[in-house]
Chains A and B, each alone.
Chain A
């Protein structure tokens, strides 16, 4: 970052629009702004801070809008204040503008009418510009707000880093400037992300898909076996049935037993018909039983009907006089006999009392409808009970009939089996064996059907589970990769962090020492500068003892300045050093040393100084590096400061 230009508009002492160009040549990179106390050096410093970071960073400094500008507008009129700063960074040119609009109040003060307006654009090499969508994030990426104090610093607070209690500040400065804080946060947040992915991964059951596919394959193989066996059994049954039919034909062909076989044929036909009828009746009973809930509330229905009937018999429902009829008589003030009556007469009062006792006409209708519906329930219930009773009776008859027919068939079979003709007896024995085989096969078919039904259900469920598990597996694969990346990145940062931190600490220590030795005039007395593992900045004297507690205010300032400029150098950040009144507490020897060295320690240097801070020797030291030089002149007649280039 290199400042290019700043334009102030009605900012504190700077009334109207005032502009200042910053020196940014490689050689002449120092901008000096001279001004006696109260002319606006600190205001210029504040303007840079406010433009870059907003009001949060310039608290407790009073009104920012120029009082001269406020005095020149009427009450309730608006007055605008703005700072525009352009700078170069990473081959790009940026222009940022922060503006505040206020309204003048009766008491002469000013009330901001909205929050500050902040815009930032990037100008490309070809002159095209684009607005920056996230200006705060962009400025944080270039020079974060919490790092600004190490580059834009107030000379009066410059010795803060060298105070004995300053280890925390030194550590914070190193953490922020060298992005150790950024690394730590990145590692912590990546670790947190990895933990969350790990938790999610635990909930996505691993290997579930494989298990389900194995189960599915097993179930399907079992189903195929069962279906194959069922087919075989059905073929067997068919074959046995054909054999039985052959035997029966042979029996028909034998003269002596033909009649018996024909009798059996008739019984079998009859049995088949009866069994079919029995199945039909069982189905009908089942259907009627489904609607049998009609019979359940019979007692409730009867009770309700009894109550409604009793009320109707008493003439309560529906009322024997229609309400509308009474209301018409009252409206016309005429008796039912046609004789008129007066208000509050006996007839009038009687009609009013009747109104009170009669029910609304609609209620009577509702009661009649309910009664009809209840009677319908009652008749349906009775009819269903009758139907079921008749069917059950027929079912019992059929069961008995089938039993008798089966006994008759058994009797025929026994006669054939006991036949004196061996051929007949053998044929019947074979037939009975085949019938027993069919029973066994039918048993097996029943078992197979149950298994097939169960297996089909299992396979249907497994198919659904497999679709779900497949989705989970894809999610699991992505989650595993996310976990790997997050954990690996967090581990990598942790692994490299300490090496990097140690290297930076060692480099700052060496650079601070180098600069300090150049700036301090008692360079032989102070032997060393150390920055320990806990970031304590220490100066070691020629006796090998810590000397920081005994440093003078000026020496502390020199140590702080050495530390800050060392950070600026080591960080290699192209950020300007802006110093407000930096040499106020320094003796001439230190001032001479610093002004001699400082231009080499920053790519761009902006010094806001009083005349006392920059005397002949210091000015001579800086002279080869000064690219721009200004004087702030406060005009007591106009009450504002003018920036004049020298």
Chain B
């Protein structure tokens, strides 16, 4: 399946990044027939949820951009 093939592209990345890409691709695919889909808020919700989980899990172990 193409979806699995796409997910395989990102296996070398951090699991949270993989989850983020997978969820955003699913969202984009659901709106692919629209020329200008309004997905900004939904993408922000996905990122916020994963970021909150990251902050909770890693405490102050903020990474590259946070340091």
Contact = CB atoms under 8 A, between A and B. Distances in A.
Interface of A: 134, 137-138, 140-141, 144-147, 176, 178-179, 181-183, 185-186, 189-190, 192-193, 477-478, 480-489, 492-493, 496, 499-500, 571-574
The listed residue with most B CB atoms (<10 A of its CB), out of A147, A496, A574, is: A496
Nearest to A184: B28
The listed residue with most B CB atoms (<10 A of its CB), out of A179, A192, A487, is: A179
Contacts of A186: 21, 24-25, 28
A174 to B, nearest CB: 12
Interface in B17-67: 17, 20-21, 24-26, 28-33, 37, 39-40, 43-44, 47-48, 50-52, 54-55, 60, 62-66
B51 A178 contact: no
Contact of B62 (A144, A480, A493): A480
A193 B47 CA distance: 9
Contacts of A480: 62, 65-66
The 6 closest A-B pairs by CB, nearest first: A137-B30, A481-B51, A480-B66, A145-B33, A482-B51, A484-B65
A193 B43 contact: yes
Interface residues of B, number: 39
B9 A496 contact: yes
Given A137-B30, A500-B9, A484 B66 contact: yes
Contacts of B21: 186, 489, 492-493
Interface of B: 1-2, 5-6, 9-10, 13-14, 16-17, 20-21, 24-26, 28-33, 37, 39-40, 43-44, 47-48, 50-52, 54-55, 60, 62-66
A138 B17 CA distance: 24
A193 to B, nearest CB: 6
Given A189-B39, A481-B62, A489 B31 contact: no
Given A193-B43, A485-B17, A489-B17, A571 B9 contact: no
A493 B13 CA distance: 11
A140 B30 contact: yes
A571 B28 CA distance: 18
B6 A179 contact: yes
B4 to A, nearest CB: 9
The listed residue with most B CB atoms (<10 A of its CB), out of A134, A182, A492, A574, is: A182
Contacts of B25: 179, 182-183, 186
A140 B2 contact: no
Nearest to B3: A179
The listed residue with most B CB atoms (<10 A of its CB), out of A176, A481, A486, is: A481
B9 A482 contact: no
A185 B28 contact: yes
A189 B23 CA distance: 13
Given A481-B54, A489-B21, A573-B1, A182 B47 contact: no
Contacts of B17: 485, 488-489, 492
A478 B51 contact: yes
A127 B51 CA distance: 38
Contacts of B62: 477, 480-481, 484
A482 B65 CA distance: 10
A371 B50 CA distance: 75
